[in-house]
Structure 1
Amino acid sequence: MNIALISGTSGLVGMQLLHQLLKQNTYDYIISVGRRKLALKHANLVQLAGNMSQIQNWDWEDQINSQSLGGEYVSLTQAIKEKKCTIQAFSSLGTTIKQAGSKEKFFEIDHDLVLAFAKWAKRLGANGFYYVSALGADPQSSVFYNEVKGKTEEDLKALDFEHLGIFRPSLLLGNRNEFRFGEKVATILMKPLVWLKLFKNMRPIYDYQVAKSMVKVALDDSRKGVEIIPSGEMQDLSK
């Protein structure tokens, strides 16, 4: 049995990623994890919701079985408990300092919750973890956003997954739920780079391209260890 765990499904890349995972015939179940459930139903989709900072204490088995009125998820919970499945985890969790309200809250979401999800996934038996980081990620960066992304990357490496894919997209294009003035201006200025196909790793990338590349990398059995996937490579992988 093949299982995908995913967090951050309400975000720009997360929604596209969930769509890509549901399109695959490879995964028997996709388990979405978040603060609240999505208004979405699918035969292969199971949703878990709660305080993600406490995810290690979740009774995930009870949550799954409570959605299984006819017992259709018994095989799923048994496979996880008995380690008789292949599990891969995907995280596009992230926010902005403006949305979070402070640097401390931003760090809590973009670092602490990502790590909590990763540790939980590892405990369940995940051998692969695929994370949406950022172009300038660097734990020594003077830019707080890039510093947090870099620290998150380093702490994920320490968890020693068989395969860790770190995806560093440039400016993301897509239909956001909220208006971001700075990103809108940057998009207008940089979008010609997409048309002209210049500066591959710097030019904007669409949300669906990131999502498609993540799934493609996860399904490639020849890829192991820690990989940094830059924006240009994502664009090639998503073709």
Structure 2
Amino acid sequence: METSKKSAIIIGATGLTGNVLLQELLKDDRYGTVKLFSRSSVGISSPKLEEHLLNLFDIEAHKAKFIADEVFCCIGTTMSKTPNKEQYGAIDYGIPVTVAKLCKENSIETICVISALGANAESSVFYNRVKGEMEQAVLSMSIPNTYLLQPSLIGGKRKEKRLGEWLAKKFFIILRPLFVSSLKKYRVIPPQEIAQCMVILANRANKERRRILSDEISKIVEGDRNRT
């Protein structure tokens, strides 16, 4: 008897990592439906794909459509792109927390959220503090399978130009040989590894709620490759 295929929701599929994740799910035979909730279309066609174009700040109004086995939240901005702190908080805190709330209300048992290395609710750095507060709020929902991924700088080419991030990537790539032992978590990480890790974790369903540092993301992906 054929096992029924799963459904997944992606928030932020038009972004760098979210788009890579979308490609991973579309080619994964375990998934029959991939729902996208975003402001604009990804511009591709697939029988698996179901797009819901909307204002993500109003996503709660679409609760009836927010039904899936797993949810992947890849939304995020930067201080250079969104300098207004209130707007920044509405995106990096407000959207993931609302998404987690919908998961709780609709009995979705698995959520994977991209956070950031250094996330800390007690941090004096605004960016890190917002990410840390978001993590705390998501964890407080007590969704059975909750994974908060904390990548370092994410490699790859983005659609929009981020000069500061580009320079930082170049700097960290040059210093990569020095990032050993406990410093491995600061290495630039490819979006493919983050996306693959999210899929691996979602399919483990270990009933755990935890944070995953950048170097562990790479280890999880490497371990999965070695098993196959």
Instruction: Name the TM-score, length of structure 2 as normaliser.
Output: 0.88
Aligned-pair CA distance for 1:194: 4.1
Q: 2:34 aligns with which of 30, 33, 49?
A: 30
In the alignment, is the contact (CA less than 8 A) between 1:52 and 1:116 conserved in 2? no
In the alignment, is the contact (CA less than 8 A) between 1:13 and 1:208 conserved in 2? yes
User: Does the alignment pair 1:48 with 2:52?
Assistant: yes
Aligned-pair CA distance for 1:195: 5.5
User: Does the alignment pair 1:227 with 2:196?
Assistant: no
Mapped partners of 1:193, 1:220: distance in 2: 34
User: Does the alignment pair 1:168 with 2:150?
Assistant: yes
User: Does the alignment pair 1:203 with 2:187?
Assistant: yes
Q: 1:185 aligns with which of 167, 174, 177?
A: 167
Mapped partners of 2:63, 2:146: distance in 1: 26
Mapped partners of 1:152, 1:173: distance in 2: 23
In the alignment, is the contact (CA less than 8 A) between 1:31 and 1:45 conserved in 2? yes
Q: Deviations over 1:119-162 (max 9, x none)?
A: 22333331011000000000111111111100000000111100
Letter in 2 for 1:157: L
User: Does the alignment pair 1:127 with 2:109?
Assistant: yes
Q: 2:24 aligns with which of 20, 23, 29?
A: 20
Partner of 1:11: 15
Mapped partners of 1:96, 1:213: distance in 2: 23
Mapped partners of 1:10, 1:110: distance in 2: 16
Q: 1:157 aligns with which of 129, 139, 148?
A: 139
Q: 2:94 aligns with which of 92, 112, 129?
A: 112
Aligned-residue sequence identity (percent) comes to 31
Partner of 2:62: 58
Partner of 2:198: 214
Mapped partners of 1:94, 1:3: distance in 2: 23
In the alignment, is the contact (CA less than 8 A) between 1:7 and 1:91 conserved in 2? yes
User: Does the alignment pair 1:140 with 2:104?
Assistant: no
Question: For 2:50, what is the secondary structure of its paired residue?
Answer: strand
Mapped partners of 2:85, 2:163: distance in 1: 20
> Which moves more between the two structures, 229-238 or 206-215?
229-238
In the alignment, is the contact (CA less than 8 A) between 1:56 and 1:116 conserved in 2? yes
Q: 1:92 aligns with which of 74, 78, 85?
A: 74
Mapped partners of 2:145, 2:96: distance in 1: 16
Q: Which runs of 5+ in 2 are unaligned?
A: 223-228
Question: For 2:187, what is the secondary structure of its paired residue?
Answer: coil
Mapped partners of 1:19, 1:236: distance in 2: 21
> Which moves more between the two structures, 205-214 or 122-131?
122-131
Instruction: Name the TM-score, length of structure 1 as normaliser.
Output: 0.84
Mapped partners of 2:179, 2:31: distance in 1: 34
Task: Rate the CA distance shift 1:195–1:29 in 2: closer, same or farther, 3 A.
Answer: farther
Mapped partners of 1:166, 1:13: distance in 2: 14
Mapped partners of 2:208, 2:71: distance in 1: 15
- Over 3 Å off, 4+ runs: 192-197
In the alignment, is the contact (CA less than 8 A) between 1:193 and 1:204 conserved in 2? no
Letter in 2 for 1:209: E
